[in-house]
Structure 1
Amino acid sequence: MSENATRQNGQLARNDSMYGLSNVDPTLEGTPDDMTVVDAASLRRQIIKLNRRLQLLEEENKERAKREMIMYSITVAFWLLNSWLWFRR
């Protein structure tokens, strides 16, 4: 692969080894204080996104658990009824 891709502060920086070109966001250049502000803001956005994903996954997991409980209950009821009808013969 001729391009090396690295993730820096939420921005994708690609370095083409053939041409020595770099596509880096200009907002990432600045004083260390500016960098901490940018880092804090980007980290805050990432945490918010991860929190939303986690909430969605938790809701899906609860819904799946409900569906499984219903399906297990129906399956057990079916086998109990089937067994009872078979023993009555």
Structure 2
Amino acid sequence: TNDNVVHRNGQYGISNTDTTIKGTPEDITVGGAASLRRQIIKLNRRLHLLEEENKERARREMVMYSITVAFGLLNSWLWFRRYR
């Protein structure tokens, strides 16, 4: 599980826990570097998921827009035929 990722109502965000580096750059050990690497991997994974969700949302919006335009054109055509 991602300790730093918070899920609320379909929205994701990063919690405030474990997002700061304590100490000086000299204090970062191999374990600290490994921890930073894990955090970067988690963030990269989450960014990829958000990008995929955004692409899917854009596809759904395009389909809904196309259906709405087609429905409007059909209604207009039927209305013009009726009152011609």
Matches within 5 A, 1:43-62: 43-62=36-55
Runs of 4+ off more than 3 Å: none
- Aligned equivalents of 1:36, 1:81: Cα separation in 2: 67
TM, length-normalised to structure 1:
0.60
The residue number in structure 2 matching 1:23 is none
Structure 2, unmatched stretches of 5+, are 1-15, 20-25
TM-score with structure 2 setting the length: 0.63
Q: What is the number of equivalent residue pairs in this alignment?
A: 62
Q: Distance in 1 between matches of 2:32 and 2:78?
A: 68
> Which runs of 5 or more residues in structure 1 are unaligned?
1-5, 12-31
Match of residue 77, structure 1, among 63, 70, 73: 70
Q: CA deviation at 1:39?
A: 2.0
Q: Which residue of 1 aligns with 2:13?
A: none
